[in-house]
Structure 1
Amino acid sequence: MNIVTAHNQLMDGMDKYSRATISSLDFYNLCKEVEEHQAKMSLYSPPDTPDIATEYISSIQDMALYSQITAQNLMKYLDSEATSDLAEISESIEKVKASIDIISNNRTKVLSDAGFTKEEIVEIANQIELP
C-alpha cells in the first residue's frame, strides 16, 4: 500500500463513519493501521536516491507524516468524542492537501532538472493521480 492509497482509505473511512456505515471500532482499527503504515513511510527513503530527488522525497515523507497525524487525531477524537478535537483533524487534513501541492511542484522541478521538456512534464503530470 502506498501513502496515497493509505490516506484515501483513511478519508473513505472517515466518510463512512460520518454516515454511520462503519462502527467506531472498525474505524479506529483502520485509523491505527493507517497511522502505523504512514509512520513507516514518513521515515522511508529509497536507497540510492539521486540528489535532484531529495526534496521531492522529503515532500512525500511530509505527506505521509501529515496523514499519520490525521489518523492520530481521528483516534484521539474517537477516544474523547470531544468536539474540540475536530479542529485538529481539519487542520491536519489541510496540511495533507497542501503537501500534495508541494509534491506536485517538487515533481515538476525534479523532472525539469532531469532534462524533461515542459511538454513532457505536462504529459507525465496528466498520467499521475493524487488524492
Structure 2
Amino acid sequence: FSEEAEYERYIFPEEKKPDFWDILRTRKTILVAEPGYGKTRLLQELVKNAKGKNRKAIYADLKKSVKKGIEIYLRQLVTQTTAITTEDFDLIKTSEVSVCLDALDEVKQDEYSDTIVTD
C-alpha cells in the first residue's frame, strides 16, 4: 500500500475513493503545489461549480488587502457574489460552507495574525 492510500483509508474508511467534495468535508484542507500548477484556478472552479451541486463556497484572494481581518473581508465578498448570500454568512463558521483562501502563503508575516485570526 502507498502512504497516500493508507491516509485515504484512515480519513475515508468507506470503500469508495473520495472525490474533491468528500475531501472538503474535513475540517481543513490545504492545497499545496508549486506556482503555475493551477491552485487558484482549481479554487475558482470549485466555487463556480458549488452552486450546481447544492453546496456553498466562497473564494477569497488574500493577495488583496485584508487588513481589517478575514471576517470583514469575507462579509464584503459575500455582498459581491451570487454563490453565497448574506443570510448564509453565519454558515461559514460551520462545515456547511467551503471557504477557499487563495494566496495564504503571500500574506506578510507581520500581518498574518491580523489577517487570519479572528475572535
Flag the structure with higher helix content.
Answer: 1
- Normalised-by-shorter TM-score class: 0.3 to 0.5
TM-score, normalised with respect to structure 2: 0.34
Q: Which has the higher strand share?
A: 2
Instruction: State the structure with more CA Rg.
Output: 1
Give the alignment's TM-score, normalised by structure 1.
0.32
